[in-house]
Structures are given as C-alpha cells and as structure tokens.
Structure 1
C-alpha cells in the first residue's frame, strides 16, 4: 500500500471508529497532506522510516512562516497515524521507538480577562437588554438587540462553566438539569462531563431567554440552547462574532474571544482555591498537565497582588 491511500484509510478510521470532530478530521487531513508532499504520495509503506518524520519536521521548522506550535501539532498527528499503521500491521516495526525529536515551544501564558474586565462585560444584566419589551411581543426586539441578548448569556455561561465554544453550540435543552443546575457536555473524543452553575440565577435567565425565543420564532424552533437572529441553532462563528461585538461595546480594549473566557473561568477557579483536579474535570482535560498551565497564571496574579500590596512600605513606615 502506498502512503496516500493509507492516509485516507487512517482518516476514515478517525471519523468512523474514533468519531473525532469534523474540525479535527480537517486538521488531520491538512497535516497528512503536508507530510505526503514532503515524502511523496507514491512512497511505499514498506520503506517507512523514522527519517521520514525527522526530515519533514526539519523542513517545517526551517520555514519562517510556520509556528513551532503548528509543527508540533503536525508531529502529534503523524505519531497517531504511525501508531495506527503499526497496530494494523501495515508496517512491520514502530518507527516512533527510534524517533528522537524535540520541539521546544515558547512559554506562553493563556490570555485571560482580569476581574475588572469581567465586571465590565457582565455589568449589563440580560433582563436590562430586553428592557420593557414583553416576552409575548419579543418580535419588537431588533436583530442587534437579539444578538446582544444572546451574547450576554453566552458570555455568562462560558465564564461560569469554562466550556469550549464548540461545546457551547452543541448544548440542547435536554442537556440542562435545572434541579441540579448542571449541563451535560459532550466534549473532545466524545467524552461526556457535567458542568455546574454556582446558583439559580443563570438557569432562570436561560429560561427567560427561551421564553423570548418561543415568542419570537415560534415553538417549532430547534432545541439548541442558543439561537441566532433567524431562530436557527447558533454556530461557533456567530458566537465569536457577537461576543467580540459585545466586548467592544463594553469598551474593553482587548479583542475578546470565547476561548479567552474559557481561560478566564479556569483562572478564576484556581485563584478562588478550587483544587486543580476539580478544574481539570470542569474543563474536560484528558491530562492534568494541560490544566497545570493555569497555575502559572494564578501565580502571576498572586505576584502582582503582592507587589501591589507593597508590604515593605507598610512595615517600614513605622521606623
């Protein structure tokens, strides 16, 4: 079997057996296509060697237009592909056992919002956005007002739960347990988890949002939690756009993204003293090492607060 055909079989395996998301499959396909361009699509699997991966990595690392994170992602994809080849006995040995490849990534802290920025985002209550508009006459809301209404609630859910935007748009009404104030989330790798709201306020607001949605779009609308201005299920692009616009209207200097709100949720939990293993579970991380990056953010905040407190000045003033 040649390299190109084996890549297609691997992608089918990822889609049908591993049930990876469309976005992951798309990324894998792109990464494998880049590998095939380096090695040659007619290359025979019987000649597969660790040098194929090393040569591709060196070529990518020498490209000034490619980030180290992109190269590392491509290598991770190739490792998954090679392990599959070996399990299926399409290659006679595992090249990864002889692969010596280290890609150093620059240390970069997650971008999260500070407490004062969060307060700016959440200072306007959702009920104040709809104002005096009656639920029975929600059609009086303009398209922009509906977007703002949706954005405010999406920001609240993202900040309180730390869910990914891809997970947010998949939430159905049946996924919400109002009695327990929990939402069932279907995350990466089809792993399920539960996230909770700290009180009943958010669930009450979501009920109000749904009442307005029924009045505006009718009872035959989709069972998705969030809807766009046409009453259709909100997609990731829509949520990103309205969150960015909402933050701009709130006069935040930075460009706010849903993923930044996920970082913010993790940081807030750690700074509040929540055990890192609980934070790992909330975020749906498969490995705690992924969650540990947020401890650096919390430590940074601690150092900032210590510096601001200026204990030395307080102590030496009495000399």
Structure 2
C-alpha cells in the first residue's frame, strides 16, 4: 500500500515470498533471523534450473530486496542481506505484433459475426477488441472503464492505469462507433442490478472480468490463423508499433501506453526496425 502497487503486483510479491519460505524450510531454516544471503541465492538458482525466465528472476530479486529491507527495518533481520543481491539483466525479447492487415482481419471477423448473430455478446466483443486495438490500453484498464469515461467530443477515453495513475487516451472513430452500437443496441440486454456504470459487462450483468475479456480476444485472434496464442497484449503491442510506423513520436506513444519509463516504449522502435528489415529482405531483389 505504501508504494501504491496494483493488486496484481501485490499478489506476485506474496507468491514470491511464499516460494522463498517453502525453499528455506526445506533447507532447515525456520526463523527469519537465520536467513542468509546464500539461502536466497540457493532459492533463485533453484528457480533458474526449473526454467524461470530471466525477467521472472529479476522480479523476484526486486521482491526479496523489498522484503529484506522491511525485515531489517522492522527488526526481524539483523541487517538488510538482500541489498547485495544483483538482478540479472532481463532479456528483451521482441513482442508479437500483428501487421495492419491481420489486425483488420480479426476485427472484420468480429464485424461479420455481429451482423450474422445480432447478439448482445457479439456487439460487446467487437467494441471490446476495437477499444483495445484503437487505444493500446491494457486489459486491466479496459475492464475498469465506466460509461462516463468516454468523451465523444474529444474522441478520448479516461483510463485508470498502473499505480492508480489516471490518463487520457485518444481513440478512433471505428472504436467509438462500435462502443455506441454496444451501448445503444445491446448493453441493456445484459444489464442487471450489479452492472453499475461499467462500460463492458458479462453475461450475468456484472462488470466483465479480465479472464472473460482475454478469452474474447483469444477467440478473435483465431481468425488470423496464427500458430501462436495471441491475446490482449498482442493488440497493445500492435497499436504501439503501428503508431510509430505511422509517424507518431516516441514520447506520444509513451503517454498513450502509460509507460513510466521511455525505455519501456523504446522496444517498439526495435520491433519496427525488425519489420522493416524483414519486409526489405522479402521484397528487394538484391536483399
């Protein structure tokens, strides 16, 4: 709470501590006061041999550093043993990104389904995917949207991001049209007493949860015919990459995505460079 962490971050920190406790118990350590740096290193090495990604190990190092700092400050540990832990540099693998045609194909498939079925869920699903791709917001931000967060005059949505940081994100006309169709033609069919002001609601009328929203996106992505399981983050990555390729500057994309660090946004410049290189190799006779 002190650091204004999201629920997901808190859950991850607790899971990390639980994992460490299980490991040190197996080593015969039953009191916090007995905890030493080599116990923590043993735990991290064990995770690594079990196939934990470097980025996952890095996150766990950050978790344990915070824990040992608190432990020393609270008197549970004689000193802050975690401050000597060095986090491995995370591997920056390039994210999966759709080309513009594939993104259009996924949305077209949803449009066709909405026309054929004329069901409340098909109009909702189309609006949901349009908003994700049209704005580049996170799935957690999407499910938190309320009816009043849409500003049609300015073509923007108000989003509550990580760490309860609010930001205004531009959104295109196709997404706004899809949202209005959902609100005006279908939302009333699913509304219940528990709907409140939630923009997107599930089949029982409650605010749609992340699991259901993710499954909507996974289904929509099947239209592309990829071997990979493509989800909400693929749409976010694609939106960012298409913005940069369309001429948007890095700072603007950072603001839209809600990244606290420009370095996080810079990975999309690498994605664009890779895509340009690939297109060149495929198209140029002297490549």
Match of 1:20 in 2: 5
TM-score (norm 1): 0.77
Q: CA deviation at 1:19?
A: 4.3
The whole-number CA distance in structure 2 between the counterparts of 1:85 and 1:213 is: 53
Match of 2:168 among 174, 177, 194: 194
1:115 paired to 2:100 = yes
The whole-number CA distance in structure 1 between the counterparts of 2:24 and 2:266 is: 37
Match of 2:151 in 1: 177
Q: CA deviation at 1:277?
A: 1.7
Match of 2:69 among 74, 83, 107: 83
Instruction: Output one character per residue of 1:72-99: Cα deviation in whole Å (capped at 9) or x when no partner.
Output: 2211211222333455565564434433
Q: How many pairs align?
A: 282
Residues 102, 21 of structure 1: alpha-carbon distance in 2 compared, 3 angstrom cutoff = closer
Q: Look at both structures and tell me which one has the larger radius of gyration over its CA atoms.
A: 1
Q: Helix, strand or coil: the match of 2:197?
A: coil
The whole-number CA distance in structure 1 between the counterparts of 2:94 and 2:187 is: 42
The whole-number CA distance in structure 1 between the counterparts of 2:122 and 2:187 is: 17
Match of 2:46 among 54, 59, 63: 59
C-alpha RMSD over aligned residues: 2.7
8 Å CA contact retained: 1:117, 1:252: no
The whole-number CA distance in structure 2 between the counterparts of 1:84 and 1:298 is: 42
Q: Helix, strand or coil: the match of 1:195?
A: strand
1:304 paired to 2:269 = no
8 Å CA contact retained: 2:147, 2:198: yes
The whole-number CA distance in structure 2 between the counterparts of 1:308 and 1:223 is: 49
Match of 1:316 in 2: none
The whole-number CA distance in structure 2 between the counterparts of 1:170 and 1:279 is: 21
The whole-number CA distance in structure 1 between the counterparts of 2:191 and 2:84 is: 61
Match of 2:15 in 1: 30
Q: CA deviation at 1:157?
A: 0.9
Instruction: Output one character per residue of 1:182-225: Cα deviation in whole Å (capped at 9) or x when no partner.
Output: 11111111122111113x34223312211123542458543111
What are structure 1's unaligned runs of at least 5 residues?
1-13, 133-139, 314-319
8 Å CA contact retained: 2:54, 2:88: yes
Matches within 5 A, 1:104-143: 104-124=89-109, 126=111, 129-131=113-115, 141=118
Match of 2:184 in 1: 211
Instruction: Output one character per residue of 1:115-165: Cα deviation in whole Å (capped at 9) or x when no partner.
Output: 221121122574x54449xxxxxxx94xxx433322222111111111111
Match of 2:30 among 39, 42, 48: 42
Q: CA deviation at 1:174?
A: 1.7
TM-score (norm 2): 0.85
Instruction: Output one character per residue of 1:6-28: Cα deviation in whole Å (capped at 9) or x when no partner.
Output: xxxxxxxx4xx344333322221
Q: CA deviation at 1:296?
A: 1.3
8 Å CA contact retained: 1:148, 1:246: no
1:284 paired to 2:258 = yes
